[in-house]
Amino acid sequence: MADYTTHHFTAASRYTVSVGYDRRLYAHDIEASMAHARMLGRQGIVSKADAKAIVGGLEDVRREIEAGSFVWRDELEDLHMNIEARLHELIGEPAARLHTARSRNDQVATATRMYVRSAIAETDRGLRQLQDALVSVAEAHRDAIMPGYTHLQRAQPVLFAHHLLAYFEMFDRDAERFSQAARRASVLPLGAGALAGVPYPIDREWVAGELGFDGVSANSMDAVADRDYIVEFLAAAAICMMHCSRLAEELVLWSSAEFGFVHLGSEWVTGSSIMPQKRNPDFAELARGKTGRVYGSLVALLTVLKGLPLAYNRDLQEDKEGLFDTVDTLGATLDAFRGMLGSIEVDEARMAAAAQDSALLATDMADYLVGKGVAFRDAHAAVGALHEAASARGVGLGELSLEELRAQSPAFEADVADVTARSSLAARDVEGGTAPSRVADALKQARKRLEAAGG
Ligand code: ARG
């Protein structure tokens, strides 16, 4: 009878047990084992009958796992040994031939690469839905004007849609990063064996094709030793969470009484146990907070890898929990944003009122003077002085009379009254600018890009 325990199991050896979490790889591990068994049969490394028995048995194991009747045993340490041991119980002797021309080292790398690929496909769906939600809010409020900020100080008027589309671009680059990571993950390690390759006439290309890999690894030691494909996934996830966190921060600010720009739907806020008036943006806050654990997983894995000699080391088993946690955290975060954005009520009047602050037009007044032949630096100084004088009197720049303006710069004429928040927007008619025609075009392009991405 084959023995599937890898060492003498004691209470202390719980330290090495991973089955509590690595069983999440079961579907990929079984699929890879089936392809491996079929290949062994095709190549005459095991008999066709044995290959068939193995594949059938693995199907039963999968059914048991999915039905919840599979008994996971800690003393078998990881999911690979659990599955193989159960296969042996079910089909007997042929099960002992499955591990021919394979090691757990190339086996786990294969299952993890498959997992990362499917996690990225899932992440891409979440990202596209979030982008879609952003574009929908932008489309529904395409004329809404708001103050754009630098240093969180009112800077220049922008379209709300323009502000939202900035996040569309960030998430678009995130999707691109994930898809590049998926491409590099799509290389089959099986055939690397423990580290040096295997002494059997295997057909790696055939297995790669069966499992949907784009190719096979070129170096057996690299194949079992590196986890850079997980690092890349975690790095892309960390960047994506950073973007989510910034958007979260905006939602927190915008939904505060101080801004009052948006109102989040009641499912996306919580009350306070003591203050009856509270509508706390907890989902946005948690999205901001959960960014930390994703950064943590990235740094943890980089640290696990940095001192490891080639090839496989058991340290590599530490790659999984951070990966799984990141997949869950990112997926739930993307879902929460889609929901929050779908529920959002936008107070266009509040935004417009904030954008009416004439200080926002200081740059445009300077540009107005430039239009009258004044050098920009001089125009900047003149408007700066006017702004200071107005502030000292407790009035806005827009409340100064033409005479007061002309006292500072004789280039001011009656048509300075045409400088408004709307004229400020329209003037920014450059590629990527906030002019309404440009933003309308950007919205159309965003829709097209989403369609092309299959979202
Ligand atoms: N559970 C192990 C891991 O995740 C599988 C590979 C074990 N290989 C070994 N030589 N002990 O890394």
pLDDT at 389 over 90: yes
Per-residue pLDDT of 24-75, as tens digits, reads: 999 999 999 999 999 999 999 999 999 999 999 999 999 999 999 999 999 9
Per-residue confidence band for 6, with pLDDT thresholds at 50, 70 and 90: confident
Per-residue pLDDT of 406-439, as tens digits, reads: 999 999 999 999 999 999 999 999 999 999 999 9
Per-residue confidence (pLDDT) for residue 272, from 0 to 100: 77
Average pLDDT for 3-18: 79
| pTM of this structure | 0.95
Q: Is CATH 3.40.630.30 what the domain over 357-440 is classified as, yes or no?
A: no
Per-residue confidence (pLDDT) for residue 271, from 0 to 100: 83
Residue 272 among the catalytic residues: yes
Percent of the chain whose pLDDT exceeds 70: 99
106 lines ligand 1 (CB under 6 A): no
Choosing among 2.102.10.10, 2.60.110.10, 1.10.275.10, 3.20.20.140, the CATH entry for 11-100 is 1.10.275.10
8 A C-beta contact, residue 259 and residue 305: no
Per-residue pLDDT of 62-116, as tens digits, reads: 999 999 999 999 999 999 999 999 999 999 999 999 999 999 999 999 999 999 9
Residues 6+ apart with CB under 8 A from 187: 113, 213, 214, 215, 216, 217, 223
Per-residue pLDDT of 159-203, as tens digits, reads: 999 999 999 999 999 999 999 999 999 999 999 999 999 999 999
List where CATH 1.10.40.30 sits in the chain: 357-440
Per-residue pLDDT of 259-293, as tens digits, reads: 999 999 999 988 878 787 778 999 999 999 999 99
List where CATH 1.10.275.10 sits in the chain: 11-100
Per-residue confidence band for 454, with pLDDT thresholds at 50, 70 and 90: confident
Per-residue confidence (pLDDT) for residue 172, from 0 to 100: 98
Per-residue confidence (pLDDT) for residue 12, from 0 to 100: 59
Kindly give the distance from the C-alpha atom of residue 25 to the centroid of ligand 1, in angstroms, as a whole number. 13
Per-residue pLDDT of 201-214, as tens digits, reads: 999 999 999 999 99
pLDDT at 7 over 80: no
Instruction: Identify which of 108, 190, 224, 304 to mutate to test ligand 1's pocket (most ligand atoms within 8 A of the CB).
Output: 108
Kindly give the distance from the C-alpha atom of residue 16 to the centroid of ligand 1, in angstroms, as a whole number. 10
List where CATH 1.20.200.10 sits in the chain: 105-146+159-353
Q: Per the residue annotation, which of 272, 391, 423, 437 is the catalytic one? A: 272
Residue 151 among the catalytic residues: yes
CATH topology assigned to domain 105-146+159-353 = Fumarase C; Chain A, domain 2 (1.20.200)
Instruction: Identify which of 317, 318, 320, 321 to mutate to test ligand 1's pocket (most ligand atoms within 8 A of the CB).
Output: 317
